[in-house]
């Protein structure tokens, strides 16, 4: 066993920052001149696990392969361990004779709270702990409004940030990673991150290449081919109009600072300033979701708007199951849910449509949808997912009012005008024309038969009448308001 000394090794703890470029912790460790012990800890089964679902575990498996290869190519080694980081990091530090430990801070509040005593624990045994901000554009703890309070609405949050925001240039990737003492590493396959047979994730391979190189290639492709039409095309699920960088950002394979500077450089070269600002505002919304988690209660389990503690959610297991399987009988909803199952991803516009349908038409609690997304999305980010579901529910910060209910038919007609998105994912409706495909139940049986569609046989009847669902949602909203007001009068806490 190596002994810890002033010239000991530096431990680099990788988490959701699986990259070499613009990695502040790694950069500082390299600058220390010490040999490096690069570690990834899989905290499976603990409250600190950051890979909540099967789809994101698939991504993690492949991303770790890429990171390990990149580290090896520079002379280092990625050590894999599973268990409790609070136990493993001091043990690894002793085993490898580490004098310093470097990591990038987490964006999940309860994990950040754990990291502080962990740092003190390391320092008590002679290992200096150093943490860095790496995953946001904005220094979230210090970004407050004029009253010194956290922002609760995105627009003023972002407008204020833009007045002074100029993220530093991305840090370069190291050209060499001097390997520290050889220590044991677990086999990645032993973690069983890949789904077991029948492996639905085989379809992911056609859509995704995890890893840092793929993240940069995807950004380059977006900036060159789609940025110019981004404001118009970003809401069209039938068009490749978005960056699809979300899983790469979720796993830290590319930093928001890198995206910021490369997008700004593209704007300087092309004059696409308005398009770039719109794109970067979406990166800013990601910061806002993390900001909310940093300053307020756990948005995954608590309503931001506590009035929604009184909301009369319905027990609707049949509706929830039909929604998960893409068998609701509402074409744009079913197309989106099938895309999610097949690819581990869903277009942002259809995420809003399916969330609104589940919450408002079916009356199912937003947590049910959030949990399903966490299990099936390759880009499952705890903060962003929770903030997004609460936004649609009306219970969140900067939320769409609950009475703003997406009509999935008009949404489909507007954002999938030719029906090509529905035809791709709901092929049993492929014979229907553009004026029929988003509401097949409104067509005569003869018209449907000519297209090979028989409702209730080849394609389901809608699980709920859309007008009935809307009316029930509005009634529930009024009931919630009345109950919340009564509770406030009586002084009953939520």
Phi and psi at residue 332, in whole multiples of 5°? -65, -35
Count CA atoms closer than 13 A to 39's CA, side-chain side.
30
**Identified catalytic residue from 95, 186, 240, 313:** 313
Rounded Cα gap, residues 355 and 402, in angstroms: 12
The token duo for 296 is 């307020």
Catalytic residue at 253?
A: no
Rounded Cα gap, residues 478 and 469, in angstroms: 14
For residue 357, the 8-state DSSP code is I
DSSP structure string for 188-200: GGGG--SPPSS-G
Catalytic residue at 348?
A: yes
Beta-carbon neighbour count of residue 13 at 10 Å?
25
Rounded Cα gap, residues 22 and 137, in angstroms: 12
The token duo for 319 is 């509706």
Catalytic residue at 313?
A: yes
DSSP structure string for 72-129: HHTT--EEEEES-HHHHHHHHHHHHTEEEEEEEPPSSHHHHHHHHHHHHHHHHTT-EE
**Identified catalytic residue from 58, 285, 372, 425:** 285
Catalytic residue at 285?
A: yes
Closest CA to 59 of 338, 342, 377: 377
Rounded Cα gap, residues 331 and 150, in angstroms: 40
Catalytic residue at 366?
A: yes
Beta-carbon neighbour count of residue 8 at 10 Å?
22
β-sheet bridge partners, residue 132: 104
Q: Are 260 and 219 in contact (CB under 8 A)?
A: no
**Identified catalytic residue from 348, 407, 413, 441:** 348
**Identified catalytic residue from 95, 240, 282, 413:** 282
Calculate ∠ Cα 304-310-312, nearest 5°: 115
DSSP structure string for 424-478: HH-GGGTTS-TTTTT-GGGS-HHHHHHTT--BTTTBPPPSS-HHHHHHHHHHHHH
Catalytic residue at 166?
A: no
Phi and psi at residue 148, in whole multiples of 5°? 80, 15
Residues with catalytic annotation? 282, 285, 313, 348, 366, 389
């Amino acid at each position: 066993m190596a002994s810890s000394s002033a010239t000991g090794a530096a431990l680099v703890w990788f988490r959701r920052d699986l990259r070499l470029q613009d990695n502040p912790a790694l950069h500082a460790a390299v600058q220390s001149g010490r040999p490096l012990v690069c570690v990834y800890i899989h905290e499976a089964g603990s409250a600190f696990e950051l890979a909540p679902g099967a789809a994101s575990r698939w991504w993690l498996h492949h991303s770790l392969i890429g990171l390990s290869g990149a580290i090896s190519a520079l002379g280092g080694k990625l050590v894999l361990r599973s268990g409790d980081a609070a136990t493993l990091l001091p043990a690894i530090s002793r085993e490898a004779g580490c004098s310093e430990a470097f990591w990038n801070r987490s964006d999940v509040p309860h994990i950040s709270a754990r990291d502080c005593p962990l740092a003190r624990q390391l320092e008590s045994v002679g290992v200096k702990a150093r943490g860095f901000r790496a995953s946001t554009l904005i220094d979230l703890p210090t970004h407050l409004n004029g009253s010194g309070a956290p922002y609760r609405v995105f627009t003023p949050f972002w407008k204020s940030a833009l007045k002074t925001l100029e993220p530093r240039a991305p840090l370069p990737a190291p050209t060499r990673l001097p390997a520290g003492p050889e220590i044991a590493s677990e086999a990645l396959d032993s973690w069983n991150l890949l789904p077991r047979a029948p492996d639905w994730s085989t379809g992911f391979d056609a859509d995704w290449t995890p890893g840092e190189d793929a993240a940069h290639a995807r950004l380059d492709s977006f900036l060159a081919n789609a940025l110019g039409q981004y404001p118009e095309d970003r809401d069209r699920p039938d068009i490749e109009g978005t960056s699809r960088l979300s899983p790469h950002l979720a796993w830290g394979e590319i930093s928001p600072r890198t995206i910021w500077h490369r997008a700004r450089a593209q704007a300087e070269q092309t004059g696409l300033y308005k398009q770039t600002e719109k794109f970067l505002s979406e990166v800013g919304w990601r910061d806002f979701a993390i900001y909310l988690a940093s300053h307020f209660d756990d948005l995954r389990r608590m309503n931001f708007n506590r009035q929604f503690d009184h909301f009369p959610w319905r027990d609707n297991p049949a509706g929830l199951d039909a929604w998960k399987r893409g068998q609701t009988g509402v074409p744009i909803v079913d197309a989106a849910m099938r895309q999610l199952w097949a690819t581990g991803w869903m277009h942002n516009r259809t995420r809003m449509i399916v969330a609104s349908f589940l919450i408002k038409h079916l009356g199912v609690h937003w947590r049910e949808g959030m949990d399903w997304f966490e299990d099936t999305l390759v880009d499952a980010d705890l903060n962003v997912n929770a903030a997004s579901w609460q936004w649609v529910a009306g219970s969140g910060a900067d939320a769409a009012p609950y009475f703003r209910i997406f009509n999935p038919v008009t949404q489909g007609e507007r954002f999938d005008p030719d029906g090509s998105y529905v035809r791709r994912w709901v092929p049993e409706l492929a014979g229907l024309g553009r004026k029929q495909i988003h509401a097949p139940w409104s067509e005569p049986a003869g018209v449907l038969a000519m297209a090979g569609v028989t409702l209730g046989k080849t394609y389901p009847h809608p699980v709920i009448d859309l007008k009935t669902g809307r009316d029930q949602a509005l009634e529930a909203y009024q009931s919630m308001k009345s109950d919340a007001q009564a509770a406030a009068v009586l002084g009953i806490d939520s």
